[in-house]
Amino acid sequence: MKFLISVIILSLTLTNCGFKPIYSSKNSNFEIIEILNKNENKNSFFIEKTLMSISNQEAIRKVKIEIDFEQKITTILKDSKGDPSKKKLSNKVDLIVKSKENNVLTNKTFIEEFSYDVQSDKFKMSQYEGNITNNLNVKISNDIILLLGTLE
């Protein structure tokens, strides 16, 4: 009985704590009216989708965006046999933000890198690289959202 009462009190307390999402389209001060995606792949589409989800259609500032996504995997270290033992994955996004009238507001390059040890299981390795790529894309998306929110 005490457990049930404590769960009810705890749930009532947490529902009234004033939680507000940080990235919400209601809070953004820009609307993306067009996105030109130069390298159409799943990573650039992920960034595009994230940016469009935060776009506020009632905002005064209307922007056009050009995204050029590039991903590179380089070998940093090889073992005695010549097989790679350490790699670096880097995601690079060249971003051009234009106004509604096609005036360039800003031009910025976002680069995120991560070094990792190569695993012997190729399936686990590909999953690991996919997770790294997703995390780097989330970082880049958040940086772009921050940039768009601070534009004047």
For residue range 78-90, what is the model confidence (pLDDT) as tens digits?
Answer: 988 888 999 999 9
Residue 17 has a pLDDT of 62
Tokens (6 digits) for 76: 């940093």
Total Cβ atoms within 10 A of residue 131 = 10
30-89: per-residue pLDDT in tens?
788 888 888 888 988 999 898 888 887 887 888 899 999 999 999 999 988 888 999 999
Residue 39 has a pLDDT of 84
Distance of CA 100 to the CA centre of its chain: 24
| Average pLDDT in the chain | 86
Residue 61 has a pLDDT of 84
Q: What is the pTM of this model?
A: 0.78
Looking at the chain, the whole-number percentage of residues with pLDDT higher than 70 is: 89
DSSP state of 111: E
Kindly tell me if the per-residue pLDDT of 112 is higher than 90: yes
Tokens (6 digits) for 143: 């940086």
Looking at the chain, the whole-number percentage of residues with pLDDT higher than 90 is: 42
Task: Determine the average pLDDT of the residues in 116-122.
Answer: 91
Query: Alpha helices of 33-121 — where are they, by DSSP H?
Result: 42-54
- What residues make up the domain containing 130? 2-150
Total Cβ atoms within 10 A of residue 13 = 9
Task: Determine the average pLDDT of the residues in 94-116.
Answer: 92
Task: Determine the average pLDDT of the residues in 106-127.
Answer: 93
Q: 29-59 burial, b for 16+ CB within 10 Å, e for fewer?
A: ebbbeebeeeeeeebbbbbbebbeebbbeee
CATH number, domain containing residue 8: 3.30.160.150
Domain count, the chain: 1
Total Cβ atoms within 10 A of residue 117 = 12
| Tokens 């965006």 sit on residue | 65
Tokens (6 digits) for 32: 């993306």
Q: Does residue 52 sit in helix, strand or coil? A: helix
Tokens (6 digits) for 47: 């960034």
Residue 139 has a pLDDT of 95
